Amino acid sequence: MRGREETRAPARASAAAPPRDADVLVVGAGMAGLSLAVALAERGFGGRVLLVDAREDWDVDDRTWCSFAVGPHPFVGAVAHRWARVRVREGGRERLLDVGRTPYVHVPARDFYRAAFARLGSAKRFVVRGGVRVDGLVPEPGGVRAETSAGVLRARWAFDARPALPPPGGTPRLFQHFRGFFVRTEAPRFEPGVATLMDFDVDQGRGLRFRYVLPFAADRALVEDTYFTETTFPIGEALLEDLGAHVVEREEGGVIPMTVDRFPVRPGIRRIGLAGGVAKPSTGYAFEFAQRDAAQIADALVRGAPPPPFRRQAFLDEVFLGVLARDPAEAPALFYRLFDRNPPARLVRFLSERATPLDHLGVMASLPKRPFIAEALRRVHARAALFGLA
């Protein structure tokens, strides 16, 4: 069952409560944790903020964060590459979209970490401790206790970015899993101005699959082999075969849950990042939504209010996810229609969850009626059953 979504404040501390190590404890100084800390610093949060992470090294390029540049956030200065056009391919056809007003942008992880640490370095009372593994978070009167490899830490609020999957809530669930190769080709193979978001003209034998290509130059790109499937499995190097002579300079990979399920809420503890459900269920994009979540949490804490739950425009996503899970063979054509039959600005607003009600109507009108209406009815029925109404 899905958890209640509001974050409750911990019970009041008694007079003899042990001292706190921080007002805000952030567990996991990765994308979401650092984004939250920076959002707090930007707003002049006056409390003590302690970030702990099992890792000790942030001088790494372990992620390629891309999103449409739909709004300001503290890491705009770390954008390393912009694409004014994006492409989708399916069944031998291709759709090119001009997204120049809200380009598709790339923030390399190393630059993101540097920007975050630079910002936090000048913020008073913000501390990052690497090499600290958190094994458990326990609500207690007046706050939260963290059991860590460096002993017990106490705080008023804990924000938990440790990777974890919410319990199944009876909704469709897929995993976006991928393996990406940073390649340099001998001959020019790429079109530097166009990011290929989804190229479905690849073997679909193991499940819904597409090629994602971020060209940095005519002979340099990130080529990613991506699956949306119910289970994960090893991904080989087959997609590199048609590149001709090339070298792989480095690799990245990951698994992103595509789900609308959430963890049950515990007093004083708020999940953030992928574990907090920020990844868009129908696409797996998370960076932009984590920035929005960080801003909303920071706004609340600065006001002295509890952190609000992460909210999203979820129903159409839940339906979309259900259709993808039920009929993956039809999914390439669905995505193609989505890109083909919506103006770029509406599509970007939809993918970035800035869609107006009119945009939603437009998106719905662009999709085939029968599978979506059937899935929407299923989802409504499932929700009614959840509340004992069906």
Ligand X SMILES: Cc1cc2nc3c(=O)[nH]c(=O)nc-3n(C[C@H](O)[C@H](O)[C@H](O)COP(=O)(O)OP(=O)(O)OC[C@H]3O[C@@H](n4cnc5c(N)ncnc54)[C@H](O)[C@@H]3O)c2cc1C
Choose the binding region for ligand X from 46-54, 117-125, 195-203, 261-269 (rule: CB under 6 A).
46-54
Quick one: which segment of 73-81, 84-92, 249-257, 334-342 binds ligand X (CB under 6 A)?
Answer: 249-257
Stretch that binds ligand X, among 40-48, 158-166, 187-195, 334-342 (CB under 6 A): 158-166
- Sign of CA pseudo-dihedral 109, 110, 111, 114: positive
Size of the site for ligand X (CB under 6 A): 29
CA 360 – CA 95 distance, rounded (Å): 21
Q: In this chain, which of 40, 49, 51, 53 binds ligand X, going by CB under 6 A? A: 53
Query: Alpha-carbon distance 32 to 273, whole Å?
Result: 5
Instruction: Please report, as residue ranges, which positions from 79 to 98 form the binding site for ligand X (by CB under 6 A).
Output: none
Beta bridge partners of residue 104, listed in sequence order = 68, 83
Binding of ligand X by 286 (CB under 6 A): yes
One of 139, 254, 267, 371 touching ligand X (CB under 6 A): 254
Place of tokens 């804990």: 158
> Does 165 contact ligand X by CB under 6 A?
no
Burial of 245 (0-12, 13-18, 19+ CB in 10 A): exposed
Stretch that binds ligand X, among 27-35, 84-92, 186-194, 226-234 (CB under 6 A): 27-35
Among 39, 49, 51, 64, binds ligand X (CB under 6 A): 64
CA distance 37 to 31: 10
- Figure out which of the listed residues 25, 115, 161, 323 binds ligand X, where binding follows CB under 6 A: 161
Which residue has its beta carbon closest to ligand X? Answer: 30
Which range binds ligand X by CB under 6 A, 28-36, 137-145, 347-355, 381-389?
A: 28-36
273 binds ligand X (CB under 6 A): yes
- The residues, ordered by sequence, that sit 6+ positions from 164 with a Cβ below 8 Å of its Cβ are 263, 271, 275
Q: Are residues 80 and 112 in contact, defined by beta-carbon separation less than 8 angstroms?
A: no
The answer to whether 224 and 198 have CB atoms below 8 angstroms apart is no
Give the span between the Cα atoms of 49 and 124, in whole angstroms: 9
Q: Which residues bind ligand X (CB under 6 A)?
A: 27-33, 52-55, 63-67, 133-134, 161-163, 252, 254, 256, 273-274, 285-287
